[in-house]
Structure 1
Amino acid sequence: MERIKLAIEKAKAAEVDSARSDAPLLRRVRGSEASIGESSSAIRREVPLGDASPVHYTQTAVVSMDAAHLDRHRVVSHQKTHPASWAFDVLRTQVLQKMDENGWRTLAITSPSVESGKTVVAINLAMSIAQQTNRTALLVDFDLRRPSVARYLGLNRSLSLNDFLDGRANVGDALVNPGIERFVVLPTNQPVTGASEVLSSSKVGHLIDDLRERYSDRIVIFDLPPVLAADDVMSVLPRIDCVLMVVGSGVSTENEVEEAMSRLSKANLLGVVLNKDEAPVQNAYY
């Protein structure tokens, strides 16, 4: 824990530097907050992996996003000219390097407490990963008590993870491509009763396994609830390869961060993202 605190203090006082390969990952982001039913033909690849040619969606619904809506919710990774976009690209590179080293393909994103901006980080990171031509990204809203991915993206779809959990639809019916190549979202529209029990169920376990194994180039990102809000994270985390914790500057107390770190002690913690820090960040090279 002492190493994490020193890293956060350093981030507040200095430029954001590339983390050492054996140190916790740390980035500063300004101002932000078939048994399963997914058909293997939902994404048809017209070219070999690694080629920059388009990916065509044959079954997954494709919708257009509103740029102004995304901007209001601090979703910026799709805009390479946005001053905050580069931070998510650097975070992406560090995350993928560590995941590739261990053969991991599923990543959980959580925070100690509410209002830390974990969902914003999850969305922007997933978008950034999808922009790698040899990757696809799937973002799953597993914050079953306060789902918000669909709201942040401006998605207005009738089907969601709720319908899969209730047995009314296959998961493939709920997937949506929000107009960005190689990026797919599995939204949750309504809060789920008994969220912890649902996340620890065999049905969700099979879902996680299927989403991980469906495509070899896919990175699956799960937006989880805050660690201290309930036992939801502890229920599902053993089924996910690794986790990234988002700490909101001025949001979580030192004791909350320490307690969250303690609860994540048995997980593969990639590192900590210091979010909502308003100190100036400059990229001297660019």
Structure 2
Amino acid sequence: MSPADMHGPRNELEGGTRARITEMADIPRLAPAELDRLQIVHPLMPDTAVLESFQGLLGKLLERADRKNFVVGVTSITPGGGASFVSLNLAATVALDHHRTALLVEAGPGNPTIQQLLMLPPDYGLTEYLQDPAIDIEGIIYSSRIPRLRVIPYGKAFAETRLLNSAGMQHLLQAARSRYSDRYVIVDVPPSTQPDTARALSRWCDFMVLVVPYGEVSISQVRDAADAIGRDKLAGVVINRDPAP
């Protein structure tokens, strides 16, 4: 492969200003040229094969979930192997359907595209939520510049594996999905070279997608990554021909 609504977080009334809420409500949408630059799928993109690939992936996941909403984790075998690219575009593909919304959860640092989706620096993210029980879930869910796609950014702090494996993480993902029946949660999971982290997060996902960078890994590495995830959770393997962060 190659390259939502309009409301801000509910608890901004507690910690932010009304002006910031207005900014979040009026967040500008990305134009097709900007989406092309960021390698994000959209209906007007010139390379329709890429969009069709992601629509096919979504269709298979929906079939596995019996057409119900789900939590899916996306991980790669290597750092920079394309998990962030695939998770973001899978979320964008979900959001193309006016009857569905997508929530992209950034479970590891290092994806610069997230900031360009948000426009405004986030006050809190996943790591702050896991470390501070006083932070409400809605306080870390941000509108993005793509309609019907919202984001939980990683945050400013570092999350140890034990936090990603905690009841707080489980509650977050379960609540994020169950609160709205049309919401699909996509988790950008760190690479399987961090097996403890990948395994911890896979526990809280309905299933996982493994991204394999084309021509860069061996069959044994793919098998090891599948074992780290848990083959009962593995929903599919995506061959990424153009690895992205």
What band does the TM-score fall into relative to the shorter chain? 0.7 to 0.9
Q: CA deviation at 1:187?
A: 0.9
Alignment of 1:8-47 (within 5 A): 29=1, 31-32=2-3
Q: Deviations over 1:220-247 (max 9, x none)?
A: 1111011122410111212210111111
Deviates more, 1:222-231 or 1:250-259: 250-259
- The CA distance in 1 between the partners of 2:36 and 2:45, in whole Å, is 13
Q: Which runs of 5+ in 1 are unaligned?
A: 1-28, 33-42, 44-54, 279-286
Q: Which amino acid aligns with 1:224?
A: V
- The CA distance in 1 between the partners of 2:216 and 2:156, in whole Å, is 26
- The CA distance in 2 between the partners of 1:161 and 1:190, in whole Å, is 9
Q: Quick one: structure 1 residues 155 and 227, their matched pair in 2 at CA, closer, same or farther if it must change by over 3 Å?
A: farther
Q: Quick one: structure 1 residues 148 and 99, their matched pair in 2 at CA, closer, same or farther if it must change by over 3 Å?
A: farther
- Are 1:82 and 2:82 counterparts? no
The SS at the match of 2:66 is helix
Q: Give the alignment's Cα RMSD to 1 decimal.
A: 2.6
What is aligned with 1:23? none
Larger Rg: 1
- The CA distance in 2 between the partners of 1:152 and 1:249, in whole Å, is 27
Alignment of 1:168-179 (within 5 A): 169-179=135-145
TM-score by length of 2: 0.79
Alignment of 1:39-118 (within 5 A): 55-57=5-7, 59=9, 61-62=24-25, 63-64=27-28, 67=31, 70-75=35-40, 77-83=41-47, 84-100=50-66, 103=68, 105-118=70-83
- Identity across the alignment (%): 26
Q: Considering fraction of residues, name the structure with more helix.
A: 2
- The CA distance in 1 between the partners of 2:234 and 2:127, in whole Å, is 28
Q: Which amino acid aligns with 1:138?
A: L
The SS at the match of 1:139 is strand
What is aligned with 2:209? 244
**Is the CA contact 1:88–1:128 (under 8 Å) kept in the aligned structure 2?**
yes
- Are 1:162 and 2:112 counterparts? no
Q: CA deviation at 1:79?
A: 4.4
Q: CA deviation at 1:250?
A: 2.3
**Is the CA contact 1:247–1:273 (under 8 Å) kept in the aligned structure 2?**
yes
Aligned length: 224
- The CA distance in 2 between the partners of 1:152 and 1:250, in whole Å, is 30
The SS at the match of 1:100 is coil
What is aligned with 1:51? none
The SS at the match of 1:138 is strand
The SS at the match of 2:212 is strand
- Are 1:136 and 2:86 counterparts? no
Q: Quick one: structure 1 residues 64 and 205, their matched pair in 2 at CA, closer, same or farther if it must change by over 3 Å?
A: same
- The CA distance in 2 between the partners of 1:128 and 1:147, in whole Å, is 18
TM-score by length of 1: 0.69
**Is the CA contact 1:66–1:154 (under 8 Å) kept in the aligned structure 2?**
no
